[in-house]
Structure 1
Amino acid sequence: MTNIKSLFATRLYHAPLSAHGAIDPGELENSCLVIADDDEAGQQWCEDQGYPGYTSYASLSDLPWRFPIFKDLVAVLDKHVAAFVQDLDFDLGDKTLKLEDIWINILPPGGIHTGHIHPHAVISGTTYVAMPEGASAIKFEDPRLAMMMAAPPRQKTAREELRQFVYVAPAVGDVLLWESWLRHEVPMNMAEEEERISVSFNYAWG
């Protein structure tokens, strides 16, 4: 009897943020825009690095302390991460996963965020604040891709779990979580005028 099964699964968590607590989307969006407008160090870093739009990644490490809306957001994210950890069957011993970084991303029309991973973290993720029509989906890459060598490409109709790249188009208020070694990118924002706004974060062990 033939038995074919999937091994070494890559898990992706996708849920409405509201499943574990209410966050006012308007207040969160306004806070992101106000912070971006005031953060001269972050603006300068983006200009120096050729980063399109704005990110607070290199300039503000204490958003939950500065802004109550981010403190509330982290409390909700903690619950989502706990649910994902349970699904992943992690054995954390007497430690827990704790927030390490949280930052704002504002991607203008035409902006991209090239492929990357999040070193030194266990779980990474993003919650979506503004996704205008034409805003980029997030693109995930099969972590085995470099080892496939002579493997032929997959058919266009291949099942999602067999594809080499998977695009996920989240809605405003969604949260995505993945293991931090999973390579991902944000293709070009094709919205005509509006910015794509998200809040990303890392959780570390210990």
Structure 2
Amino acid sequence: MDIRSLFVTRLYQARLADHGNPIDPEELEDECLGIAEDDEAGQDWCEENAFAGYTSYASLTDLPWRSPIFKEVVDALDKHVAEFAKDLQLDLDGRELKLEDIWINILPQGGIHTSHIHPHSVISGTTYVAMPEGASALKLEDPRSQMMMAAPTRLKDAREEMRQFIYVKPVVGDVLLWESFLRHEVPMNMSEEDRISVSFNYAWA
């Protein structure tokens, strides 16, 4: 008998500080909170769209230019993404994956990010700035789920690669990368403190 795994979905997890200069997480947290406080356009967008908490996704496109610490973050992310692209064996035809978007997420108690994908990018990811006790993990969904209409559920103790959903509990300073087609969400933050992260997309230049 020969049973193989086909069409593997990869998840990259590392420390942001594995590349570039170490970044003080408290300094990065202060910068995120300061930007959020000053970003009236982002605050207005969150209020108009009933978004619990704050995101700069719809308001700021220049974080690396606006903030030296975000420039350092991007310098490190560039190297992580290049490593992941090699692991994925992507044929980039001599070009590189380039940062397309980077934004701040601040989720208070009760805040969520509903299930979604990033259809116009190649690699997406998040680095974690504040993960208080009780903050929600990242929930990843098997990309084949929509095709499994008549399939039974998996056993509760199924091997990780066989499960329909995977919950990854990162810590401050971690960076997670995945291919942008992978559906993901952030369940409700049950902590009384803010869950703070910085998310990003890389596209094929």
TM-score by length of 2: 0.98
The match for 1:136 is 136
The unaligned stretches of length 5 or more in structure 1 are none
- 1:145 partner letter: S
The match for 1:200 is 199
The match for 1:9 is 8
Aligned partner of residue 91 in structure 1, secondary structure = coil
| Map 1:4-83 → 2, pairs under 5 A | 4-21=3-20, 22-83=22-83
Could you report, residue by residue, the CA deviation over 1:70-90 in whole angstroms, capped at 9, with x for unpaired residues? 001000000000110010000
What is the deviation of 1:152?
A: 1.0
- 1:143 partner letter: P
Q: Distance in 2 between matches of 1:150 and 1:120?
A: 30
Could you report, residue by residue, the CA deviation over 1:40-64 in whole angstroms, capped at 9, with x for unpaired residues? 0000000000111000000000000
What do you get for the CA RMSD once the two structures are aligned? 0.6
- 1:138 partner letter: L
The match for 1:166 is 166
TM-score by length of 1: 0.98
- 1:80 partner letter: H
What is the deviation of 1:172?
A: 0.3
2:180 is the counterpart of 1:180? yes
Query: Stretches of 4+ moved more than 2 A in 1?
Result: none
The unaligned stretches of length 5 or more in structure 2 are none
- 1:106 partner letter: I
**Range that drifts further, 131-140 or 21-30:** 21-30
| Map 1:50-129 → 2, pairs under 5 A | 50-129=50-129
